[in-house]
Structure formats: C-alpha cells, structure tokens
Amino acid sequence: MVAKYFLPVWVLGLVWIVSLGLGCSNDSTDSIDQIVVLDISPAVKPDHSELISHNLLTLTYSWKTGKTFKPTGDSIQAKVHFMDSAGKIIWQDDHVLPDPVKNWSPNQTYQYSRTCYIPLIPKQTDIRIMIGMFSVGNKTRYSLVPEKQSVSHPVNSSKIHVADLIVKPPIKPEDLPGAKIENLEGWFKRERDEKSMKRWQWMSRKATCRLRHPGRDARLMIRGWLPTSDIGEPSGLRFLLGETVLGEYQGVSNEFEYIFDVPQTMFGDSDSLILTLESDRDYRPAEMGQGTDNRDLGIMIKQLYFN
C-alpha cells in the first residue's frame, strides 16, 4: 500500500484558507462552433515526477507536427491543466506559444521549457497533466493527435493526457506559503475574483517585503501584470534583494514572470533581507474613467514565491 501524506493538524486551518484561492473547478466544455483537427502531437516532460506542493515545477513542452499539418492563422495558445483523479482542475499553465503555430511547418518538433508554481495542496494527490490548444476569442475546438496515433483517428477531445505527477503537502511549517515572506511598505490589500477564485495584490510604484533566511539555496518567483493599456506605454521594472540588483528590465508590457536563484550566501550573517520591487510608472483608475478608485497603482502581483 502506498502511504498517504497529510499535513499536521496544526496547519489544517491555514490550508483550508489557502485552498480557497486555488481556483479549482471541474473541467467543462463550453459551446463550440466547429472541431478542427491539427496534425500536432504534444508531449510534456516534468523535471520531477514526485514533489512537494507550494513549489516550482519546470516542464519541457514538445509539439511535433505531422506530414499533413497545415498552418492556421488563428491565434492559438497552449492549454495545460493539472487535474486530479476526479477531473477537477487543481492548477493551470495556459500560455502563449513562443513560436506562433502560424509559423510552423510539417514534420518538425517545437520545444521549450517553462516553470510554473504548484499551489499548496492539503493531501497527497495524483495529478494528470492534460494538454491541448485553444484560440482566444472564438469557439473552435482543436483536436490534437496523441503520439503513435494516426491523424485520421484523433482523440475527439480538447485535451490529451501526456504525463503524471504525485504531489504531496509540505511537512515543515517553514515551507508553507508566507512563512518566508513578510510584506512591509507600498502594498494595497489583497483582492480576489469570486467567480474564478484567483487572487492578486496591487502595489504602488515601489514596495518592499522581508525575505527570511531560507537555510538553503532558494528560488524567488515574481509574477505579475502591468496596466500597460491604461498607462499608455511599457514600464521599466527593477528588483533588489538587499543592495543587490536581481534584475532590471525595460519595455515590459502586461503579463510578466521572473525567476531568480538566491544562494543562501547572499544573506551572510543576517536572518533576513529586504526585497524591493519598483516600477517607473503607475496610474490612477478614477482618472481613467474606471470608477472611484483613487489609488496610484504600479504593479499587480499575482504570485510572489520564495522557498
């Protein structure tokens, strides 16, 4: 019998609160206008087959086109759902393809890697990685071809099962979300969309937080969104840990994600360091005709991970 791992009783209440923000939902099919078969066989290789939740997972995506593949002018994106055995979506990694499908050719393989965040999960869970393609703004379903299967007999599904994971809860309290991060200045209150259950937190043009010594080499993920269309132009971003500049970027628009390796030697003898996030632009929604919100908003932070 495979042993099941559960969180200690003293953190179950916290897990219940955190789980409200996972955005879990049953996988459902919206109304569709047509089904288009694409001679594309997807594959995904995770860097681990078993790991702890509240963690980062690197996935290598491969898309192999067959001899009958024909480019399409649709704006196609990758649909990646991580589902439990009951068919419930636990988290997603939907994303824009680095090289648009309209530029692809027959008998080619297109490959790249991405890192995604695994949310806190309160008990050991078997996860199926399901992958497909979709186009924003239309109701076309794209049916792909599993590896070693003929395009004349594709799976009549918008997603294909390509890999499996075993995800366990963290055992140590220091590995729980928020255990190593303390917000300081420049933050507005956390917000949540009641329908999708997604969470985010706005900051002003500059915000700080305290990162506690991880006791080992760690990784820092900063994922967010910039109101580029409201500001009117791309933004410049800068991230510092203590006095060290982790990254400085110009011309950043809309969605962004940065991951930094943080060796424990950066902390020296200190038990914590201050992380500073800066944007060179902000906007006030009320001045843009967006209600009565008079906050000066710089960056919407969707995920701040340090572990």
Supply the pLDDT for residue 148. Answer: 65
Residue 268 predicted with pLDDT over 50: yes
DSSP state of 125: E
- Residue 111 pLDDT > 80: yes
Collapsing DSSP to helix, strand or coil, 215 comes out as coil
Decide if 181 contacts 277 (C-beta within 8 A): no
Question: What is the set of domains in the chain, with CATH numbers?
Answer: 9-168 (2.60.40.1930), 180-306 (2.60.120.260)
CA-nearest of 252, 253, 272 to 262 is 272
Q: Can you name the residues that pair with 58 across neighbouring β-strands?
A: 115
For residue 142, the model assigns a pLDDT of: 87
Give residue 252's pLDDT. 95
DSSP 3-state of 190: strand
Residue among 209, 21, 167 nearest 83 (CA):
167
- Its pTM stands at 0.76
- Give the span between the Cα atoms of 252 and 69, in whole angstroms: 34
87 pLDDT higher than 90: yes
Q: Which residues contact 289 (CB under 8 A, 6 or more apart)?
A: none
pLDDT interval class at 106 (50, 70, 90): very high
Please say if the pLDDT value at position 157 is more than 80.
no
Q: What is the pLDDT of residues 239-260, one digit of tens each?
A: 999 999 999 999 999 999 999 9
